[in-house]
Amino acid sequence: MRCPVCRSDNYEGEDLCANCGADLRATDVPQQAPEFGDTVLGDPLAALGAGSPRTMGPATPVAEAIRVMHAEGVDCLLVCDGDRLLGIFTDRDAVLKVAGRSLAAIVVGDVMTPDPVVLRRDDTLATAIHKMAVGGFRHLPIVDDDRPVGLVSAADVFRHLVAATA
């Protein structure tokens, strides 16, 4: 345990610092999580400059979805019924759920990930990182009243963090 006064190392569980005699009893009490408002982690998602997401309907053939993803250089498509988000179809879905099957009879609605975890416009970068880490996601839709308005990728987050620290 490091002394908060003189920064010297002490044995875990010591009541007093061996170097300066400071009281160490309160140093292992859990503290409230820090606020991220004044750091890059507190930046709103708008700071990432996420563009409009590419959407498709659930009846779109998987072959067409994969062709569009390849042609447009995107890793995922949001699956919508009108303006309402139904799911997400990612390159991972294509590999794990479609590989080895005939694409002719498969539609996106059959292999998409339904009801994806989403972000709201006013969420922070810290929220996006947390949701991605906990869920193992590389892409998260940004929604406004169940209507997709953006898409955040792990690459967007990393680029923003690198630019902010440069």
Closest CA to 86 of 119, 106, 109: 109
Contact 142/74 with Cβ under 8 angstroms? Answer: no
Predicted confidence (pLDDT) per residue in 44-79, tens digit: 888 888 778 899 999 999 999 999 999 999 999 999
Q: Which two tokens stand for residue 114?
A: 């339904």
The predicted structure's pLDDT at residue 91 = 92
Indicate the pLDDT class of residue 31, thresholds 50, 70 and 90.
low
Q: pLDDT tens digits, residue range 118-154?
A: 999 889 999 999 999 999 999 999 999 889 999 999 9
- b/e 106-132 (16+ beta carbons within 10 angstroms → b): bbbbebbbeebebbeeebbbbbbbebb
Q: What is the pTM of this model?
A: 0.74
Spatial neighbors of 132 by CB under 8 A, at least 6 apart, are: 138, 140, 154, 157
